[in-house]
Amino acid sequence: MDIPKLGLGTMGIDDPATIETAIEMGYRHLDTAQIYDNEAAVGDGIDRAGVDRDDLVVATKLWIDQLDRVRESTEESLDRLGLDRVDVLYVHRPKGEYDPEATLAALDELREDGIADAVAVSNFEVGDLDRFRDVLGRAPAANQIEYHPLFQPADRLADARDHDYPLVAYSPLAGGEARDVDAVVEVADRHGVTPEQASLAWLLEKGIHPIPKASSREHLEANRAALDIDLDADDVEAIDGIERENELYPE
């Protein structure tokens, strides 16, 4: 799956104008979910921006109580989005009504029918990823997980690299805590950027696709600027070596 290096996480965004602004600024990966209750706002923003649909990667996620009615639930998401397909359709968590054989087969049927371009997963552990490969005979199009300087699940990154699929990072700024981490601040100071930008640049350097949430033009621009920051191996190693750990969304 060809996912842009940096996207927009939309949890908590309910103003279509924010989505429209982000697209106009160059954001091409838009990530939403049923549980965010904002698919309609994201869809309105896409429509208002007027960008060629094929230039966007639009992702949504099926919540855990919808995994036994995949087709119907996906069609409801599409109605809210105002789209006839999504680029990436995620299992939000392998919980609730998740039955690997039934759920994944239903998702793959949607892919075959052109309703979803790719089947992906979110918050999957390595065992869950192994089961996915056993059922569908291939890796997921992506695994979206929490990943930031204060939570670095190396096993999931290794699995993504070993099986050649993208790792998408939500909460890449550690809920705002990255700005207070000494190693991140030191890297940021060396490059004359903010700690938030240093955190995003670190993820990008590792080949991870961050999707930070931003509502203001200022923050949207600041996050995009991380694409132009070049960290060296010492910078990456410094942030890799952070010993503090704070998982924001534990199972």
Residue-wise pLDDT tens for the chain (251 aa)? 799 999 999 999 999 999 999 999 999 999 999 999 999 999 999 999 999 999 999 999 999 999 999 999 999 999 999 999 999 999 999 999 999 999 999 999 999 999 999 999 999 999 999 999 999 999 999 999 999 999 999 999 999 999 999 999 999 999 999 999 999 999 999 999 999 999 999 999 999 999 999 999 999 999 999 999 999 999 999 999 999 899 999 87
Helix (H) or strand (E) holding 81, with range, is helix 70-81
249 as an active site residue: the answer is no
In angstroms, the CA 102 to CA 80 distance is 25
pLDDT in the model for residue 251: 78
Full 3-state SS string of 198-213: HHHHHHHHCCCEECCE
Q: For 8-175+207-214, give the CATH class.
A: alpha beta
In angstroms, the CA 10 to CA 134 distance is 32
Nearest in space to 220 (alpha carbons), one of 25, 29, 46: 25
Q: Which of 36, 147, 165, 170 is labelled catalytic?
A: 36
In angstroms, the CA 226 to CA 184 distance is 14
CB 91 within 8 A of CB 68: no
Helix (H) or strand (E) holding 9, with range, is strand 8-9
Which sequence spans correspond to the domains of the chain? Answer: 8-175+207-214
